[in-house]
Amino acid sequence: MTPTVFEDLAAQGFAPEIIEDSSISIEALNGKYVARIPECSRVTGEKDGKPYDFYSTKFTVTKTVDGIKGENRRLQRTFSLSDSEWSTGAENIKKFCNMLFTILGHDFACTAEGIEEACEEAKGKLCRLSVWPNKRDGVVQTDNQGWPKHNVKVVAEFKKNGKVVPVELTDTEEAVPF
């Protein structure tokens, strides 16, 4: 900036103002996406005296196939190893192994070691996601930072009206037949 810019600001009587939060909400994703997996691992620890143990897979959307634009948005899917009112640890492990099998396209040993190796192999891979908002009583749930929560499902192929829609796993923009 040149000195004249400062002189112009002073002549206009400019004074800095506090920037207020505009309360713009972040739109929940809803659609079909291609995503890359930057992280896939088992997470263990303790919080507030309570142990936790789950598998976590993180996704970064690389392409919107159909639905709300989601490029560069991050999503996560977790599978608890503990029993809850919704499912058992064993049921969750089966779901996680099915997800890894869909991502990798080949079988692996569903043991702690086999799953660890499959998680390592999944890192960096592209996959197809079907995503919709996590709602309770019609309201999109949010995390403690205001980001919407999502239901994330890895799928082998996309379908529309019961028919398979071919979508290649690439990062590039291409015409999608939806």
pLDDT for res 57: 98
Residue by residue, pLDDT tens for the chain (178 residues) are 456 787 888 888 888 888 877 666 789 999 999 999 999 999 999 999 999 999 999 999 999 999 999 999 999 999 999 999 999 999 999 999 999 999 999 999 999 999 999 999 999 999 999 999 999 999 999 998 889 999 999 999 999 888 988 888 876 555 444 4
Domain contains 62: yes
Q: Is residue 36 part of a domain?
A: yes
Q: Mapping DSSP to helix (H, G, I), strand (E, B) and coil, where does residue 8 land?
A: helix
Q: What is the per-residue DSSP string for 130-151? A: EEEE-EETTEE-B-TTSPBPEE
For residue 131, tell me if it sits in a domain: yes
Give how many domains the chain has, as a whole number: 1
CA 93 to chain centre: 19
Would 14 be classed as within a structural domain?
A: no
Is 19 part of a structural domain of the chain? Answer: no
Q: Name the residue range of residue 159's domain.
A: 24-165
106 found inside a domain: yes
**Cα(148)–Cα(158) distance, integer angstroms:** 23
CA–CA distance, 56 with 78 (Å, rounded to integer): 4
Q: For residue 46, what are the β-bridge partners?
A: 51
pLDDT value of residue 24? 65
Is residue 84, in this structure, part of any structural domain at all?
Answer: yes
Is 12 within a domain? Answer: no
